[in-house]
Amino acid sequence: MKKPFLSIVIPAYNEEENFKRGVLFEIEKYLKKQNFSWEVVLVNDGSTDKTLGFFNSFIKKVKNFRVLNIPHGGKFLAVSAGVFEARGDFILFTDFDQSTPISEVSKTLPLLKRDIDIVIGSRVGEDAKRINDPFFRYIRSRSFNLLVRIILFLNIKDTQCGFKIFKSDVARNLFKKLKVTSIGHLEGGYMGAFDAEILFLAKKFHFKIELIGVKWQYFKSQKLSFKEPFLMLFDILKIRLFDLFGKYEYVK
């Protein structure tokens, strides 16, 4: 297979129910209609349900999908493994539940042609649409984003939306530099604050970032615990401390 234009990295931890909902078939249906070349890297993050078996059966029926199986290490390690496995000119990582549907990639294509390094989906602002988002969860999300903006001096409206596209060399460069979330928490489905750390470093090292408003739909998850907001806040504070103590160096 020649080098694709876009690699899509999808981390997966115990996604049996979402698979049965047909999310991968919807992704494949959309992508095969596009006029750009693509690949999908499904990263099985040590799932304990039938996720891996479903993946192996699925890739026998479709083209340009492949499976990367890793020991469970949390979302950061799954996305990171996929980034370094990807072969495309651009790399998108997106959530398995398709809370932001793959069709939103169409909004990013004009920006990628303008030599933008990173395009990130935002659930707030112009053209953004949130569906079925519980009020408490919305308040928690906006409060966390406010803390990120204050603590990290990061003027980005939404750092945590799981829909981000990078030039491939930029993605690998930034993922190699992550320090806080690369040694993060391994339990359950904890996602960590690696999105915030990546965007903090992207700003620090003057990469070009553009935001696009995206459609986002809430799907209930049983993977996350009540401790997650506190763990993420702790990670944010560590990012600030690491920067103050000169832990982040720009080395290609």
Kindly report the CATH number assigned to the domain that includes residue 59. 3.90.550.10
Which residues make Cβ contacts (< 8 Å) with residue 143, sequence separation at least 6? Answer: none
Residue 252 lies in a domain: no
For the chain, percent of residues with pLDDT exceeding 90: 64
196 occurs within a structural domain = yes
Dump pLDDT digits (tens) for 168-202.
Answer: 999 999 999 988 766 544 455 555 688 999 999 99
Structure confidence at residue 224 as a pLDDT band (50, 70, 90): low
Structural domains in the chain (count):
1
Q: Could you tell me the residue range of the domain that residue 194 belongs to?
A: 6-244
Tell me the β-bridge partners of 69: 44
pLDDT at position 223 over 80: no
- 1 assigned to some structural domain: no
Helix (H, G, I), strand (E, B) or coil at 117: coil
- Whether 203 is in a domain gets the answer yes
In a domain, 251, yes or no: no
pLDDT, mean of residues 208-227: 79
- Can you give the three-state secondary structure of 132-194, one letter per residue? CCCHHHHHHHHHHHHHHHHHCCCCCCCCCCCEEEEEHHHHHHHHHHCCCHHHCCCCCCCCCCH
The model carries a pTM of 0.91
Residues 42-98: tens digit of each pLDDT? 999 999 999 999 999 999 999 999 999 999 988 889 999 999 999 999 999 999 999
Task: Establish if 43 belongs to a structural domain.
Answer: yes
Question: DSSP state, 84?
Answer: H
